[in-house]
Structure 1
Amino acid sequence: MVDSQSAPVAQPARPGGALGVVETRSIDWVPDEERHGKVWHQAPLWFLGNFQYFTIAVGFVGPSLGLPLGQTVLAGALGIVVGTLFMAFHASQGPVLGLPQMIQSRAQFGYRGVIVALAATIFTYIAFNVADQVLLAQGLNGIFGWNETAVALGAGAIAVLLAIYGHDWLHRAFRWLLYVSLPLMVLVTVGVLTGHAGGAHVANQHLAFTWAAFFAQFSAAAAYNITYAPYVSDYSRYLPRTTSARALIASVFFGASGSAVWLIALGGWLALKLGVSDGLVGLRQAGDHFLPGLGAAAAVLSALSLVATMGMNAYGGMLTVLTGIDSFRPITPTRRIRIVAILGLAVVWYLIASLISANAVATVFTALTLMLYLLVPWTATNLVDFFFVRRGHYAVTDLFTPSGIYGAWSWRGLTAYAVGIVAEIPFMVLPDLGGWNYTGPLAKQLAGTDIAWLVGLAVSALVFLAAARTTDRAGEDAAIALSEQQLAGV
């Protein structure tokens, strides 16, 4: 018999396969007969996920610290390549397991222990949407004079609707926005490259290469795509189980990295050549200087793409919240509970963003730094387990009960995560946070260069690898075999 807690709920509906249909699934397992979609769909999804205003703001980090344009572009490109590798490998987990990312993390942290990773993940979703709301409100007010509160409420409403309709609607919205916005951004870039977008060396700039500034830009760019890691497989979990891992990794990698490198470079140019402190304002100036009206249109489309990304964050946040609740009080994943969770998250991010008075660039840099510190020990633990310890073989039904093979609290993952966080502290360089900042003693020895996340990554991976040597492999093999039989029955 299948334990009532351990059986993944199976519902007969596709996740929004037809227009107007609200997705039925949330944290439950996706049966093979409901798997659909194509690998190439992942590329435009993640291309547009980064093809918006937030990415331009990431390119402002280096210039804000006095880093010249060439080094800003190099640091941003290197950071994106490193961060996207982690993101893309997480994406390959979706078709294998048919589960949301954080449900799968119960294998490393335990049925209830995963709450530690969930806390870091929900912070990431909320921090992204807080920063997004600040960016949109300040940017559209700067361009068109629109009321910041009205912008925040309108963006939030659209994001909530996209998250409620769910997986398939998010894929559609991202593809449609990409088709419209791509030609406009190409034209703006042509104007920049041909010297017809305006711009000159801004007076009073004191630019010089420093490792601290270079690593700040590198880390911000790496964090940008590493922070997709907790939910990238949420958008690949409906793909057929037979999906090629290499093809999926490549699709996600080139989609997410291509647009990010492009717009980070553009952001650096806007900051240094136009002297602007807001990406939308700079985008409008550059575009309109090349072709009248181009900049305004490109700015609006970039803002709409950011709103769609807020919907993606709300959807992932909902899955995280429900996973956390289910870890202590089993729930039946229904449309109603999905909608309540999404609305609750929207209220939280709106209220927090409304209290922030910092400029958009400072908000973005602080949010990315904190997200990176919190998520890197988790991503190291999860990827080491999936690719080197368990090699993609899990007892799916045991992920839905605290009495399964993975237990309620797994000391292996929790120890690896905790030790990784502690190892980061001496190397941390926290930017201003409500008037408070912190530079660790070892970071001071490195002239303020932030390598904390690289230390956390290595330490967590090594600790988990060592701890995993005590895993009961025979017991897990038996549990996996039983799980496959139970899933076949579902």
Structure 2
Amino acid sequence: MPSAHVSDGLPVDARAAVFDGAMPAAPGDLRVEGHGIGPVPEANRYGGPWRLFTVWFAPNLTMTGVFTGTIGIALGLDFRTALAAVVFGTVVGALPTAVLCTWGSLTGIGQLPLARLAFGRAVVLPGLLQWASSVAWDALIGLFGGDALARLCGWPFWVGVLVVMAAQGALGVLGYEAVHRLQIVMTFVLAVAFAVIAWRMLDGVHPAATGSAHGADRAGAFVLTSTVALSLSLSWAPYASDFSRYLPRATSRPRMFWCTLLGLVASFVSVQVLGLWGASVLTDQTAAGVERVLGGGAAGAFGLLAVALAAVCSNAMNDYSGSLALQTLGVRMPRPVAAAVAAALGFPLVLWMHAADTAARFQNVLLFVGYWIPGFVAVVGVDWAARARERGGAPPDLAEESARRPAVGPPVLAFAGAFAAAVPFMDTGLYVGPVAAALHGADLSYYVAFLVALVLYAPLRLRRRRV
């Protein structure tokens, strides 16, 4: 449905040259994927739901997740309380991502392009935020991967980052099948690597049995820790159907849901537990912490290499989804080129984060890149439910929906209103909202944003007549 994706007046063949293109035809087909935001035809679909476990498991085995786990201990929680916060936040954030992932096989379309159904031309708003977020995630993850590679090879920090960014950019250029195949292999490699790190931590590294936070401060720290964990798993929601759009339409949606949910929860909880357990030795320099835990020799080298490879795995997905987001904005750039651009822009952001207080800048970027997502999830979720109701439970007919012009006002009102309502509840190093301060640092902004978007948008969308 070309008209559902672009509105720039280009001839059909010109649009096809930019937004369509070569597609992988089977598992292991590693040709460069030129196909962009155009729907994937049913004849080109392949694969099974089990792929979703590995594609959502391997990219989360990064030191970014480990460092996130240390935050709970740094806020004064004991190990058990921080673990409960991490599990709760991760599961809550993973549920929307797992639901959205099932839309890929039904439509053959990526998540941001699919959001045109709800937002219409206003999709440029979440599209721009998603593209900027993919670049920010490149930096959040590339920071640790580049540091690990630099330590392993004896390079300056910037050289390690440059090599990691180049490798992930190359995978993003290759596209969908290359990303899936890499994650299948790295699921086993990284699982072994992080198991070795966990095994070595058992010798002499002890979790925090008690915490320094008490009473209301402890409750606030619990909420903030769970919100940070939630932000990790929810951050994949705007990417979700990007990595299921080649699955056949008949693929079991329950299996897709559970494979996605289990992949996200198992990986994020595992790495954050390492952070909770080893907070005393990992701190903000997690690559150095891994080196200390594993020691020198082959084990230390293997650990550092695994950290670097994990960054490449995760950021390849950021660059791939970033390329689809850029096309959704109407930028007439071939998908492989757009993926390379996303990787290139992440490089200076890594250097900025590394130049000063890494821990503070890391937490600030981590939270800010996700504050817009709850409102986005609420809007697209309500719109999808409304369309299903209109069609008696059936998914949207894309050929039919391409002729409809959704009202721009309601989704923008809900999206912007949700973010505005969340501001007083935010807690970052740059800004602490008055409500968050009164609640001893408890950051409830994600929950508030979702509920406000739901309340604002649902009555308008569910009552709207079909046009």
Q: Do both share a fold (TM > 0.5)?
A: yes
Report how far residue 442 of structure 1 moved. 2.0
Aligned AA (1:396): L
Q: Of residues 285, 299, 302 in structure 1, which corresponds to 2:292?
A: 285
Alignment of 1:11-410 (within 5 A): 13-15=22-24, 17=26, 19-110=29-120, 112-141=121-150, 145-192=154-201, 195-196=202-203, 198-200=204-206, 206=212, 210-272=218-280, 274=281, 276-288=283-295, 293-325=298-330, 331=332, 337-356=334-353, 357-387=355-385, 390=388, 393-397=395-399, 404-407=403-406, 410=408
Report how far residue 57 of structure 1 moved. 1.4
Q: Of residues 436, 441, 462 in structure 2, which corresponds to 1:448?
A: 441
Any idea what SS the aligned residue of 1:210 has?
helix
Separation (CA, whole Å) in 1 of partners of 2:229 and 2:48: 28
Separation (CA, whole Å) in 2 of partners of 1:201 and 1:81: 23
Separation (CA, whole Å) in 2 of partners of 1:146 and 1:365: 26
Report how far residue 319 of structure 1 moved. 0.4
Report how far residue 398 of structure 1 moved. 6.0
Separation (CA, whole Å) in 2 of partners of 1:231 and 1:91: 8
Percent of matched pairs sharing the same residue: 24
Any idea what SS the aligned residue of 1:36 has?
coil
* 1:425-467 per-position Cα deviation (integer Å, ceiling 9, x unaligned): 22122x23xxxx2222222221221101111111101211111
Q: Structure 1 residues 469, 22: closer, same or farther in 2, change over 3 A? A: same
Give the conservation status (yes or no) of the 8 Å contact 1:138–1:360.
no
Separation (CA, whole Å) in 1 of partners of 2:51 and 2:234: 20
* 1:335-378 per-position Cα deviation (integer Å, ceiling 9, x unaligned): x7223222322232212322332344333321221122111110
Any idea what SS the aligned residue of 2:431 has?
strand
> Does 1:472 find its partner at 2:465?
yes
Any idea what SS the aligned residue of 2:349 has?
helix
Any idea what SS the aligned residue of 1:243 has?
coil
Q: Structure 1 residues 114, 461: closer, same or farther in 2, change over 3 A? A: same
Report how far residue 144 of structure 1 moved. 5.9
Aligned AA (1:214): F
Give the conservation status (yes or no) of the 8 Å contact 1:170–1:312.
yes
- Between 130-139 and 12-21, the greater mean CA deviation after superposition: 12-21
Separation (CA, whole Å) in 2 of partners of 1:3 and 1:72: 49
Give the conservation status (yes or no) of the 8 Å contact 1:135–1:360.
no
Separation (CA, whole Å) in 2 of partners of 1:232 and 1:104: 11
Aligned AA (1:120): L
> Does 1:421 find its partner at 2:415?
no
Give the conservation status (yes or no) of the 8 Å contact 2:134–2:321.
yes
Aligned AA (2:317): M
* 1:275-309 per-position Cα deviation (integer Å, ceiling 9, x unaligned): 643222223333349xx633431231132011121
Report how far residue 325 of structure 1 moved. 1.5
Separation (CA, whole Å) in 1 of partners of 2:166 and 2:81: 39
Separation (CA, whole Å) in 2 of partners of 1:365 and 1:308: 21
Q: Structure 1 residues 399, 363: closer, same or farther in 2, change over 3 A? A: farther
Separation (CA, whole Å) in 1 of partners of 2:248 and 2:206: 51
- Between 31-40 and 295-304, the greater mean CA deviation after superposition: 295-304
Q: Structure 1 residues 20, 201: closer, same or farther in 2, change over 3 A? A: closer
Separation (CA, whole Å) in 2 of partners of 1:258 and 1:389: 33
Q: Structure 1 residues 370, 469: closer, same or farther in 2, change over 3 A? A: same
Separation (CA, whole Å) in 2 of partners of 1:135 and 1:168: 25
Separation (CA, whole Å) in 2 of partners of 1:190 and 1:142: 22
Give the conservation status (yes or no) of the 8 Å contact 1:188–1:286.
yes
Give the conservation status (yes or no) of the 8 Å contact 2:144–2:311.
no
Give the conservation status (yes or no) of the 8 Å contact 2:207–2:276.
no
Aligned AA (1:406): R
- Between 338-347 and 390-399, the greater mean CA deviation after superposition: 390-399
Give the TM-score, by structure 1 length: 0.85
Separation (CA, whole Å) in 1 of partners of 2:358 and 2:175: 28
Separation (CA, whole Å) in 2 of partners of 1:383 and 1:421: 17
Q: Aligned pairs, how many?
A: 450
Report how far residue 207 of structure 1 moved. 5.7
Give the conservation status (yes or no) of the 8 Å contact 1:287–1:294.
yes
> Does 1:458 find its partner at 2:465?
no
Q: Structure 1 residues 172, 70: closer, same or farther in 2, change over 3 A? A: same
Q: Structure 1 residues 3, 384: closer, same or farther in 2, change over 3 A? A: closer
Q: Structure 1 residues 167, 2: closer, same or farther in 2, change over 3 A? A: closer
Give the TM-score, by structure 2 length: 0.89
Unaligned runs of 5+ in 1: 476-490
* 1:31-83 per-position Cα deviation (integer Å, ceiling 9, x unaligned): 11001011101101111011122211111211222222222211111111111
Unaligned runs of 5+ in 2: none
RMSD: 2.8
Q: Structure 1 residues 358, 219: closer, same or farther in 2, change over 3 A? A: farther
Separation (CA, whole Å) in 2 of partners of 1:200 and 1:443: 31
Q: Structure 1 residues 399, 350: closer, same or farther in 2, change over 3 A? A: farther
* 1:95-149 per-position Cα deviation (integer Å, ceiling 9, x unaligned): 1111011111111111x21011112211211110121222233444456643111
Q: Structure 1 residues 148, 470: closer, same or farther in 2, change over 3 A? A: same
Separation (CA, whole Å) in 1 of partners of 2:144 and 2:2: 48
Q: Structure 1 residues 239, 119: closer, same or farther in 2, change over 3 A? A: same
Separation (CA, whole Å) in 1 of partners of 2:394 and 2:122: 20
